[in-house]
A = this chain, B = another copy of it.
Amino acid sequence: MTIGDELLIGQVVDTNSAFIAQELQKIGIEVVQITSISDQLPDILSALEAAQSRAAIVITTGGLGPTKDDVTKEAFCRYFDTELVEHQPWLEHVKHLFAKYISTPINAMNYTQAMLPATAELLANPYGTAAGMWMENTKGVVVAMPGVPFEMKSMLQDELIPRLVSRFKRPFISHKTIVTYGLGESAVAELIQDWEASLPPELKLAYLPNLGKVRLRISGSHTDQLVLNDLMDRALKGLYPLIEHLSFSAEHDRPVEALIADKLTQINGSLALAESFTGGALAAKFTQMPGASKYFMGSAVVYASSAKTSVLGVPPSDLDSYSSVSAQVAEAMVLGAQKTFGAQYAIATTGNAGPSIADSPEEVGVVYLAIATPERVWVERHEMGNHRERIVEKSINKALTLLYAELLKL
């Protein structure tokens, strides 16, 4: 349950629920529903009641701040028939945080962060002033965590997961995801339909199509881990030969940029980028992952035509003759990136992401993707549709796939 008016007016996307669900999965706890509700006391109370009728564990985030609009603590007191009392060690923690990290002096509102439900077991929060709360009744456990994602994440992993593991007996759960590239959902489904029909009832298959990729997820749950492993192994052995030609990552649902990162780190390789319409988003795929400095040299985000020349040495005559959206310019960009950054491998992107067409005769959605390796360089032209976000995301997926296919040949 995520609590906060900002979710219901769409001001904030709920990323907490997916993170929590992933972590619960790992310890065999199944999520049956995710609910986002307002900061109104009656809504919280009725949602708590409904949630407890569905599940033995209810986890909430949000509404634990010091300001008046946050009422989760009050709701928990009402729901569990208890009251707020000052919690001395938590008060010390709040004072400590202010002394160490915050430039403004502590005020009366901050002190209220140490007023906590008398019957709650507290969950520590090293990064903030909001305490987590673990409370129980005859129906099960109800937990409150702060809504700020990094505070919630640390509390979940260090405080809540260990308590759940020791408190609840859980079945074994297993998921395997295989990422396929190049075919649509229904074409993949047709390819594996006989296999799908022969799956045992303990296993379930789902298709997750997304911009040029289709992920196949097989999920199983069983009280006996050996039986579950055996069912899963047999299913996978039947599946692999059918989709081998479409798939890179058989074992894990890891994004292709992570697979590239592993491979480059392993071979001590280096990578540089030259980005026009992807505008830094391709670079961010790599730099978001810790350890990128082992192989990632950098990216020349050359949005303006003049930058293509000044940073990457693209000949102005190529820009004039072929326009910035052309195979010639893509090739000059990728070679420029390889040289400027001194990298073994390089990717370049140039295209029209729209909505308007800049200085090129090509239509919106036309992109050129260039790959350079120590041995060769080549360019592909693709039409990625007419939707800006989709053009960028599909092009990034395609470019990464091209590079990874090349790295796999090593």
Structural contact, B298 and A300, CB atoms closer than 8 A = yes
Find the B residue at minimum CB distance from A276.
Answer: B298
- Docked Cα-Cα span, A19 to B50, in Å, equals 26
Residues of B within 8 A of A300 (CB): 298, 300-301, 311
Of the candidates A21, A186, A277, A286, the one having the most CB atoms from chain B within 10 angstroms of its own CB is A186
Q: A67-B186, A290-B355 are in contact. List 8 more A-B contacts (CB 8 A).
A: A7-B21, A9-B21, A9-B219, A10-B17, A32-B38, A35-B36, A297-B304, A311-B340
A97, chain B: closest CB distance, angstroms: 11
Given contacts A109-B189, A189-B109, contact A303 B279 (CB under 8 A): no
Structural contact, A189 and B307, CB atoms closer than 8 A = no
Measured as residues with beta carbon below 8 angstroms from the partner, the interface class of chain A is: 35 or more
Structural contact, A109 and B190, CB atoms closer than 8 A = yes
Structural contact, A66 and B183, CB atoms closer than 8 A = no
Structural contact, B9 and A22, CB atoms closer than 8 A = yes
**A136: Cβ under 8 A from any B Cβ:** no
Residues of B within 8 A of A108 (CB): 190
Residues of B within 8 A of A175 (CB): 9
Structural contact, A107 and B9, CB atoms closer than 8 A = no
**A331: Cβ under 8 A from any B Cβ:** no
Residues of B within 8 A of A302 (CB): 298
Given contacts A17-B14, A18-B13, A150-B390, contact A301 B283 (CB under 8 A): yes
Comparing A73-81, A200-208, A224-232, A397-405, the segment that makes contact with chain B is A200-208
Residues of B within 8 A of A11 (CB): 18, 22, 177, 208, 215, 217, 253
**A362: Cβ under 8 A from any B Cβ:** no
Given contacts A69-B205, A298-B301, contact A34 B7 (CB under 8 A): yes
Structural contact, B299 and A280, CB atoms closer than 8 A = yes
Structural contact, A68 and B310, CB atoms closer than 8 A = no
Given contacts A10-B17, A19-B10, contact A109 B186 (CB under 8 A): yes
**A239: Cβ under 8 A from any B Cβ:** no
**A185: Cβ under 8 A from any B Cβ:** yes
A46, chain B: closest CB distance, angstroms: 9
**A82: Cβ under 8 A from any B Cβ:** no
| A–B Cβ pairs within 8 angstroms, 17 of them | A5-B217, A10-B22, A10-B25, A11-B217, A11-B253, A13-B17, A14-B18, A32-B43, A34-B36, A65-B207, A67-B185, A68-B196, A110-B186, A150-B390, A280-B283, A293-B304, A298-B300
